[in-house]
Amino acid sequence: MKQHFNTKTIVITGLLLALEIIFQIIGNYLNVGIANINLSLVPVVIAGIVGGPISAAILGFFNGIMALLAPPTIMYFMPISPVGTVVVCLLKCTLAGVVSSLVYHWLKKHITAHGATPIAAALVPIINTGLFMLGSFIFFGDMIFADGRDVLGAFGFVIVGLIGWNFVIELPSTIVLSVATNEILLKRERNRQ
């Protein structure tokens, strides 16, 4: 896969970044129970599909910055481990975007773009949530576990519960919206030819 970061890709990345910021703001006010619906992962997926891994990394990195600046992050995680908070927030979605893009472009060669899109879309929330959980256990394990490494404490129960509930909402919404968006883009591309 040979991707060039040309003017078109820069413009697409910028537009998707603006959309990501809007989705992040909207997501702060869209709740299903106690979970926010994170729509901001969709632009990360689309950036990886349209702009390649560099574009996805840029959007993933900015998603991490927005997560880092969120009030719950500043209130609960930053006082415990500032370095851990920064590392987890900035790496989780950046890596999710890059991996998703690389997998999409590899799968597109072996199956169709239609088949590659839902897999790439699923990878972003899976990797994002997985790295958040891993980082939480590494950097915030003392707060998550009540006694040793056996029993979840109150903080751990809330974190694991919120992560689980968010993921249940985040995964299908990211897949559905990413597939729908990419279908529109593919149809538009076919009409140009």
What letter does residue 37 receive in the DSSP assignment?
A: -
pLDDT at 87: 95
Which domain, by its residues, includes 43?
7-192
**pLDDT at 187 (0 to 100):** 84
pLDDT value at position 168?
Answer: 83
1 within a domain of the structure (yes/no): no
**Cα R_g (the chain), whole angstroms:** 17
* pLDDT in 10s for each residue of the chain, 193 residues: 445 668 888 998 999 999 999 988 887 666 666 566 778 999 999 999 999 999 999 999 999 999 898 887 888 788 888 999 999 999 999 999 999 999 999 999 999 888 999 999 999 999 999 998 888 888 877 766 555 555 556 556 566 666 777 788 889 989 999 999 988 888 887 777 6
Domain containing residue 125: CATH number: 1.10.1760.20
Kindly state whether residue 124 falls inside one of the protein's structural domains. Answer: yes
2 found inside a domain: no
- The percent of residues in the chain predicted with pLDDT above 70, rounded, is 81
**DSSP H or E segment with residue 60:** helix 53-68
Q: Which residues contact 157 (CB under 8 A, 6 or more apart)?
A: none
Q: Residue 165: inside a domain, yes or no?
A: yes
Whole-angstrom distance, CA of residue 41 vs CA of residue 71 = 19
Q: Total domain count for the chain?
A: 1
Give the per-residue pLDDT at 1.
45
With respect to residue 122, please indicate whether it lies within any of the assigned structural domains: yes
